[in-house]
Amino acid sequence: MISLESKNWTFPVSVVLPVYNEIRVIEKVSATWLQVLESLPKGSCIEFEDAKSNDGTAEFLQNLANQDPRVIFHQSSVKDGFSQAIARLLTVATNEWIFVADSDGQYAAEDIFYFLSKWNPETKFIKGVKINRQDGFFRRFFSYLMNRFIVVYLGLPFLDYNSSHYLIKKETAKEISQGGWTFSYSINVEITLRTILSNNTYQIVYVKHTKRSDGFSRGNPPLKFLGYGLRGIKDVLALKRNF
């Protein structure tokens, strides 16, 4: 386990994870994050939002929250997508610093210490860039097209706009979302773009990425990537008009 080497970092962190039908992996994912919390400042916690899972995920997380005060469980009344779940979690998170993570176990929980060791008082946002991405072909292909489109169209060189592994200050998220989030499916892209375009100080770290151990993403089925990608391009065009 990597330790927290940065003596400057003393703030509690809310680790937020949207989840839907991940019963086969959520026990391991939550146990790993609870182990990481042992090395984070007092008051740090894990906050899950469940999108009406029907495979036992919600019941598992509710029981876990009942047993461990470091786990906070939010039950959504609707299944309205990853982006909406992240938007809600950024608003209700307990702590001022928020670490966004996936619930499928593809990212290493201990990589959070790389983020925290990079932090300095001017930093408002630290984004994880995946090394050796292990998603399926269609997901990687359409993410590549989105990244290249943004680089060419906006002139903002960035390697991984859609990574869902990042540290953001709650106040910053509130400031850049004035008027509401507008991207339908790609809130990670929108958060990254709005942070950079608003001239907030940011950094990147390179993070490990592993193959899903249990099939395809529950939230983003492969056959929907084309539609998500085309809508994402429209969202980027609309966002540019506001800056």
Quick check: 1 pLDDT over 50? no
The answer to the question of residue 8 being in a domain is: no
The answer to the question of residue 233 being in a domain is: yes
What pLDDT score was predicted for residue 216? 52
Give the Cα separation of 75 and 61 in Å (integer): 10
What pLDDT score was predicted for residue 231? 78
The answer to the question of residue 57 being in a domain is: yes
103-107, 167-171, 220-224, range with the lowest pLDDT: 220-224
Q: How many domains does the chain have?
A: 1
Confidence bin at 35 (pLDDT 50/70/90): very high
Stated as kind and residue range, the H or E segment containing 15 is strand 13-19
The answer to the question of residue 3 being in a domain is: no
State mean pLDDT over 25-47: 96
3 state SS of 115? helix
Q: From 225, 36, 62, select the one nearest 116 (Cα to Cα).
A: 36
User: In this predicted model, which residue has the larger pLDDT, 156 or 45?
Assistant: 45
Supply the CATH number for residue 232's domain.
3.90.550.10
The answer to the question of residue 75 being in a domain is: yes
44-84 per-position pLDDT tens digit: 999 999 999 999 999 999 999 999 999 999 999 888 888 99
What DSSP letter does each residue of 144-178 carry, written as one string? Answer: HHHHHHHHHHH----S-TT---EEEEHHHHHHHTT
What DSSP letter does each residue of 186-227 carry, written as one string? Answer: -HHHHHHHHHHHTT--EEEEEEEB---SSSS-SSS-GGGHHH
What pLDDT score was predicted for residue 5? 55
The answer to the question of residue 171 being in a domain is: yes
Give the Cα separation of 206 and 132 in Å (integer): 10
The answer to the question of residue 5 being in a domain is: no
Q: Is 203 left (phi over 0), alpha (psi -120 to 50) or beta?
A: beta
Q: Could you say which DSSP state residue 54 is in?
A: S
What pLDDT score was predicted for residue 233? 80
What pLDDT score was predicted for residue 133? 62
What pLDDT score was predicted for residue 157? 75
The answer to the question of residue 106 being in a domain is: yes
207 lies in which domain range? 13-240
Confidence (pTM): 0.88
Confidence bin at 225 (pLDDT 50/70/90): low
